Amino acid sequence: QVQLVESGGGLVQAGGSLRLACAASGGIVSNYAMGWFRQAPGKEREFVAATSWNGGIISYADSVKGRFTISRDNAKNTVYLQMNSLKLEDTAVYSCAAVRARNMDARSVYDYWGQGTQVTVSA
């Protein structure tokens, strides 16, 4: 069973940066596409970014393009989300997820999910 554990969340001022990490275990995660999602209070979960198994295909939500960078280190079974120029509206619980496929697109169904890490951006 694949397990995903996020870390790196916290409180940061607007304009600041955070790097989230998602450590995976329990399967050949290096063969899976991985994504980051977020959910703010009272809102639906939304897609943030995703990467194919080798980083060859990457996609971002329009709201984070140019500010967030997703990357992965398959040797460490870890996916990262570097978040720069954070805004108040980036406040949310961020979760990582895995697709049991090497590539992903907008219709991909994510099979495994982490518990999430809170990111709070203050003024």
pLDDT at 29: 82
Q: Bridge-partner residues for 112, per DSSP?
A: 98
pLDDT at 107: 87
**Least trusted range by pLDDT, from 29-33, 52-56, 73-77, 118-122:** 29-33
CA gap 114, 96 in Å, rounded:
6
- Residue 55 burial (10 A CB sphere; 0-12, 13-18, 19+): middle
Give the residue-averaged pLDDT of 77-98: 97
